[in-house]
Amino acid sequence: MCSLPVPREPLRRVAVTGGTHGNEMSGVYLARHWLRDPGELRRPSFSAVPVLANPKAAAACRRYVGRDLNRTFTSAFLTARAVPDDPYEVTRARELNRLLGPKASGGAFDFVLDLHNTTANMGTCLIADAPHNIFALHLCRHLQLQSPERPCRVFLYQLPGEESFAVDSVAKNGMALELGPQPQGVLRADMFSQMRALVAAALDFIELFNQGTAFPAFEMEAYRAVRRVDFPRAEDGDLAGTVHPQLQDRDFEPLQPGAPVFQLFSGADVLFEGESAVYPVFINEAAYYEKGIAFVQSEKLTFFVPALPALPPAPTPDP
Amino acid sequence: MCSLPVPREPLRRVAVTGGTHGNEMSGVYLARHWLRDPGELRRPSFSAVPVLANPKAAAACRRYVGRDLNRTFTSAFLTARAVPDDPYEVTRARELNRLLGPKASGGAFDFVLDLHNTTANMGTCLIADAPHNIFALHLCRHLQLQSPERPCRVFLYQLPGEESFAVDSVAKNGMALELGPQPQGVLRADMFSQMRALVAAALDFIELFNQGTAFPAFEMEAYRAVRRVDFPRAEDGDLAGTVHPQLQDRDFEPLQPGAPVFQLFSGADVLFEGESAVYPVFINEAAYYEKGIAFVQSEKLTFFVPALPALPPAPTPDP
C-alpha cells in the first residue's frame, strides 16, 4: 500500500473549519465561538485558525445555499474560470482554496480539521480519505485512545478512483469529525462539548508531533466505503419506503444477507441480497435523500499503519 | 369552564393534513401515500380527505418557503386582500381555508387532523387548542387507551387570549399529532408506522361516534403552555449557549427551581429561577430557534371532561 509522505517539519499552519454545512450546528457554533475567542486553539508551537466555512448557509441554517460546498473542492471547480452565475459555494470553495490551499501545492496549510454532524446514529466518527494517510490515521489513533470507553470509529470515505472533494483536501493533510445523531438545526450541548474535546485532543496531538514525539506503528480497524445504496423508489422517483426499523440506528453493525433493509409503504420488506455481511453507515442521513443515498455500504478492514517518526531536532542557532 | 358545543350530527367531512411543515416527513409521506391510495382513510360513514398542506415546502424539504404556514390561519391573514407579493403560505392558507373552512363558519369541515414531527423528545403528543374542546379531548382519550403502555400526552398549545393560528382551526373541530424525536428531513419507519396507526385509531373514533356511541365523562391530565423561553443570547443576538444536557430530551418531566436549564459556551450553567416546578416541552426543537424559543414552559393540570353524548338516532325514512 503506497503511503503519503509524513510531515518532516512541524505543522504551523493548521485550520479548524466549522459550518461547512450550515445546519450542522456543533461546528457552526464552535467556529463562531472561536472567532470571538480563539484562545482554546493556541498551542506552544502553533495556533489553529478557526474558519466558518460556509457563512451564508450558516446564516440561513441550511446545508448550502447553491450547491454542497463539501463536494466542490475538485480541480474542475477550483480551476474553472469564474463566471457571474457561479453558485455561491463554488465561489466560496475558491476563496477557501486560496486561504487554506492551493490544493496539492507546497503553499497549502499543513492540516485542516473539518467539523460535521450527521442525523445518523454514528456516534463519534473520524473520517479520513484513505488508508495511506498515515499522519491522519495516527491522529485518529490518538483520539481513540483519549476515551477508550466510547466507540470512536474510523471511516475511509473515498471510493476507489474517486477524486477528493472535501474542504480538508485542500490542505497537505486533513480529516473530518462526524458526530451524531444530531438533527439539522439543533445544537445539543453533549455533542458540542464532545466535539470541542476532540478538537482539543487533535491539536494536542499535533503539538506532541511538533515537539518531537514519535508514534509507534499499530494495527487499525476501519470502515471503508464500498458503494452508496438508494431508497426504494416509486415510478415517479419519489420514495416508496424508508429504512427498515431493524436497520435504523445500526450504523457500523454488520448487515447480514437476508436481513431487512427497507420497509415499503405497502408494508412489505426489502431484504439485503448481498452474499456476505456489510457495514452500513450514514443510515438515513437527512442530507443524503437528495443525493439518492439511504446508506453507505462499507467494509470493515484491518490494516497496518507504519510508525510516525519523530521530527528531526530543530537546528540549533549558531552561537 | 365554558365548552365548545359537541357535534350533534355525524362527522362526514373530515380531512387529514400532512406536510403543513414541509420537512416533517411522517406527515409528508403519509399524505403523499394516501393521495395515491386513499383506501385506508375510508370508514363506513365517511371518507377522510388527505391533503398535502404545503406542497411547495414539501418539494423543497423545508418547513416553509415564505413564512410558517401553521401560524397563518388567523383572521388577519385569511381576510386581508390578496396582493401580488403575499408570501406563498399566505396564499396557501387562504386556499386551505376555502377548501377546509371557512374558519368559524357552518360550511367548514367537521374535523381536521394535522400531522407533525418534532426534533424534541416528546414521544406521542396530542395537541388540542384548549380544554373546552370536548370532542377533541375524547378523541385524545381514545388514542391514549389504544396503547396504554406508551405515554401519549395531551398538550394544550393555546396561550391565554391568543387567537388560534393552526391549520386545524379552520375546521369546526380539530387537533394535531406531534411525534418525536425525528430530525427534519428524515423519514423514520417507526414514526411513520406509529403516526399511521394513530390516524387509523382517530378515524375509528369518529366512526364510533357517527354510529351513535356515547363516551363517558373522565378526568384528563394534560400540559398547558404557559410561556415560551428563549435561549441565552450574546450581545449581537446570536446564541450564547444551548439547552443544558440535564434538560435535553426531558420533555414533560418536571423542571425544579435551581435545576440547570442552559449551558453557556463559556462553560457556566444557567439555572431555573422559577418558584415551583414547571414542565418544559418542545425542548430544543430545530424549528423554534428562529422564533426565539428554546422550550415551551407548561403547567400540568387535571380537569374534568364531560361526557360526549350519543348522537340522536338518524330519522327513519318514511315507509
- pLDDT single digits (tens) A163-215: 999 999 999 999 999 999 999 999 999 999 999 999 999 999 999 999 999 99
Q: Is B183's CB within 8 Å of A187's CB?
A: no
Note the pLDDT tens digit of each residue in A259-279. 999 999 999 999 999 999 999
Tens of pLDDT, residue by residue over A50-106, are 999 999 999 999 999 999 999 999 999 999 999 999 999 999 999 999 999 999 999
Nearest-CA neighbor of A255 among A263, A244, A264?
A244
- Reported as a single tens digit per residue, the pLDDT across B79-108 is 999 999 999 999 999 999 999 999 999 999
Assess whether pLDDT exceeds 60 at residue A2: no
State whether B265 and A29 contact (CB < 8 Å): yes
pLDDT value of position B185: 98
From the list B189, B242, B243, which residue is nearest A242 (CB)? B189
Residue B124 lies in a domain: yes
Q: Among partner residues A183, A238, A245, which is closest to B183 by beta-carbon distance?
A: A183
Mean of the per-residue pLDDT values of chain A: 95
What is the band of B147 on the pLDDT scale with cuts at 50, 70, 90?
confident
ipTM of the complex: 0.95
Which pLDDT score is estimated for B314?
75
- Whether residue A242 is contained in a domain is answered as no
Dihedral sign, Cα of residue A25, residue A27, residue A31, residue A33:
positive
Q: Residue A69: which CATH number?
A: 3.40.630.10
pLDDT of the residue at A41: 98
Model pLDDT, residue A1: 44
Residue B3's pLDDT is: 61
**What would the 3-class secondary structure string for chain B be?**
CCCCCCCCCCCCCEEEEECCCCCCHHHHHHHHHHHHCHHHHEECCEECEEEECCHHHHHHCCCCCCCCHHHCCCHHHHHCCCCCCCCHHHHHHHHHHHHHCCCCCCCCCCEEEEEEECCCCCEEEEEECCCCCHHHHHHHHHHHHHCCCCCEEEEECCCCCCCCCCHHHHCCCEEEEEEECCCCCCCCHHHHHHHHHHHHHHHHHHHHHHCCCCECCEEEEEEEEEEEECCCECCCCCECEEECCCCCCCCCCCECCCCEEEEECCCCEEECCCCCCEEEECCCCHHHCCCCCCEEEEEEEEEEECCECCCCCCCCCCC
Among partner residues B62, B119, B242, which is closest to A183 by beta-carbon distance? Answer: B119
Interface test with A, best of B118, B187, B235 (most A CBs within 10 A): B187
Residue A109 pLDDT grade (very low, low, confident, very high; cuts 50, 70, 90): very high
Cβ distance of A185 and B286 shorter than 8 Å? yes
What per-residue confidence (pLDDT) applies to A113?
98
Contacts of A290 in chain B (CB under 8 A): 61
The answer, yes or no, to whether residue B6 has pLDDT greater than 90, is no
Mean pLDDT of A241-270: 98
User: Which of B32, B193, B289 is the closest to A185 by Cβ?
Assistant: B289
> Quick one: average pLDDT of B241-252?
98
B293 domain residue, yes or no:
no
pLDDT in the model for residue A319: 61
Q: Is residue B31 part of a domain?
A: yes
**Contact flag B189-A248 (C-beta cutoff 8 Å):** yes
Residue B313 has a pLDDT of 84
Does B304 reside within a domain? Answer: no
Is B287 an 8 Å CB contact of chain A? yes
Q: How far apart are the first and last CA of chain B?
A: 45
CA distance A41 to chain B (A): 15
Which residues 197-236 of chain B have a CB within 8 Å of chain A?
none
**Percent of chain B residues topping a pLDDT of 90:** 91
Is it the case that residue A147 has pLDDT exceeding 80?
yes
CB of A263 within 8 Å of a chain B CB? The answer is yes
Within a domain: A273: no
Note whether B239 contacts A29, CB cutoff 8 Å.
yes
Confidence bin at B1 (pLDDT 50/70/90): very low
Nearest to B29 among A239, A245, A290 (CB): A239
Amino acid A77: pLDDT: 97
Residues of chain A in contact with residue B190, where contact means CB-CB under 8 angstroms, are 245, 248
Q: Quote the pLDDT of residue B318.
A: 66
Q: Determine the distance in angstroms separating the CA of B107 from the nearest CA of chain A, rounded to an integer.
A: 34
pLDDT band at B288 (very low <50, low <70, confident <90, very high): very high
Q: Which chain A residues are closer than 8 Å to B183 by Cβ?
A: 119, 181-184, 186, 286
Q: Is B46 in contact with B207 (CB distance < 8 Å)?
A: yes
The answer to whether position B50 is within a domain reads yes
What percent of chain B has a predicted confidence (pLDDT) above 70? 97
List, for residues B159-192, the tens digit of each pLDDT value. Answer: 778 899 999 999 999 999 999 999 999 999 999 9
Chain B contact probe: residue of A64, A186, A247 with most B CBs at under 10 A: A186
Residue A47's pLDDT band (boundaries 50, 70, 90)?
very high
- The verdict on residue A232 lying in a domain is no
| Containing structural domain, residue A198 | 14-222
Confidence check: pLDDT of B42 > 60: yes
Q: Nearest chain B residue to A290 by CA: give it.
A: B61
Considering its fold, how many domains does chain B have in total? 1
